[in-house]
Amino acid sequence: MRDKIVILTGAGISAESGLGTFRDEGGLWTRYDLADVATPEGFARDPALVHGFYNARRANCLDARPNAAHAALARLEAALPAGRIALVTQNIDDLHERAGSRAVIHMHGELLRALCADCGHRWAAPREMRADDPCPSCGAAATRPDVVWFGEYPYHMDRIWQLLRVAGLFVSIGTSGSVYPAAAFVQDAARAGARTLELNLDPSDGVSDFDEARQGPAGELVPAWVDEVLGRARP
Ligand code: OAD
């Protein structure tokens, strides 16, 4: 039986926690040039600018708290048999983990991790990071945030495509559907036979690809949807 639920989340799920989205009015990409702060070329040009951008986002993240939508997804995972839920996020915050979700797949990396651009070593990021912080493994002054930039390959893709192939239900929450490969997950899951559902404030760019779409704030839509799923799962 295809009973696996694969959930994809984006910046919209953290909006009610006070973390900015990217493309909404006043969003990060309306205030910053993506090419300057979210590409390897931008980092090579001005590492201090890029660290400043991610240090500010890390501070926001550490000051934020999970909201009702994060909590509902953790409740769903805890209530269902192990392995029934796979939670893939484009978000680099840790609000899913702090709400209690266990196996979170961060396809765009994590704000709270540092990466040595020289040797590939990863470690827990300090609150403030600088490019000349030495790598704890090789000593190189090549520290970068462990996040995926435009032009880089997202993390865990083989595992994610494997999950999409066996999903019975694919649910996309709080994402505009404008960045690939995540934007194509709905098509990948549907092609493999999954039902597809979008929960978003506004219809996303890919809304017509979904079997069903509901509009509203994640803090309301997600707990209501989780109640529905758990109601159905009860004998
Ligand atoms: P976007 O900013 O592109 O889209 C956020 C979506 O969330 C929009 O469709 C909003 O309508 C919706 N939204 C806003 N508030 C909401 C709320 N309270 N409840 C529900 N939905 C809400 O963010 P993402 O789709 O996550 O990548 O962006 C994808 C990727 O683009 C990010 O991971 C990041 C960015 O560039 C990289 O930096 C590599």
Which domain CATH number covers 96?
3.40.50.1220
DSSP assigned state of 130: -
Half-sphere exposure of 157 (CA within 13 A, CB side): 12
Residue 195 to residues 167, 171, 187, 191, 214: CA-CA distances in angstroms? 8, 9, 10, 10, 14
Q: Let me know whether 234 and 193 are in one domain.
A: yes
What spacing in Å lies between the alpha carbon of 100 and ligand 1's midpoint? Answer: 22
pLDDT value at 234 more than 60: no
Q: Let me know whether 211 and 177 are in one domain.
A: yes
pLDDT digits (tens, 9 = 90+) for 101-132: 998 999 999 999 999 999 999 999 999 999 88
From the CA of 182, give the closest atom in ligand 1.
Answer: 29
**Ligand 1 contact, 109 CB (< 6 A):** no
Q: What integer pLDDT is reported at residue 233 of this predicted model?
A: 66
pLDDT digits (tens, 9 = 90+) for 155-181: 999 999 999 999 999 999 999 999 999
**Ligand 1 contact, 176 CB (< 6 A):** yes
**Ligand 1 contact, 24 CB (< 6 A):** yes
* Backbone φ, ψ for residue 215 (5° rounding): -110, 135
Q: What integer pLDDT is reported at residue 131 of this predicted model?
A: 84
Q: Let me know whether 160 and 214 are in one domain.
A: yes
What spacing in Å lies between the alpha carbon of 30 and ligand 1's midpoint? Answer: 13
Closest Cα to atom 22, ligand 1: which residue? 12
Catalytic residue ranges:
108
- Looking at the chain, the number of H-run helices and the number of E-run strands are 10, 9
**Ligand 1 contact, 27 CB (< 6 A):** yes
pLDDT value at 94 more than 60: yes
* Backbone φ, ψ for residue 112 (5° rounding): -90, 15
Calpha distance 67→54 (Å, rounded)? 22
Domain that holds residue 141: 20-63+111-147
Average pLDDT over residues 40-51: 96
pLDDT value at 64 more than 70: yes
Share of the chain above pLDDT 90, in %: 94
Q: Let me know whether 199 and 230 are in one domain.
A: yes
Calpha distance 148→170 (Å, rounded)? 23
Closest Cα to atom 9, ligand 1: which residue? 176
Closest Cα to atom 14, ligand 1: which residue? 12
Copy the structure tokens of residue 170.
């694919």
The CATH number given to whatever domain includes residue 118 is 3.30.1600.10
Q: Residue-wise over 103-136: b if at least 16 C-beta within 10 A, else e?
A: ebbbbbbbbbbbbbbeeeeeeebeeebeeebebe
From the CA of 38, give the closest atom in ligand 1.
Answer: 38
What spacing in Å lies between the alpha carbon of 32 and ligand 1's midpoint? Answer: 15
Closest Cα to atom 18, ligand 1: which residue? 217
Domain's final residue, options 90, 119, 147: 147
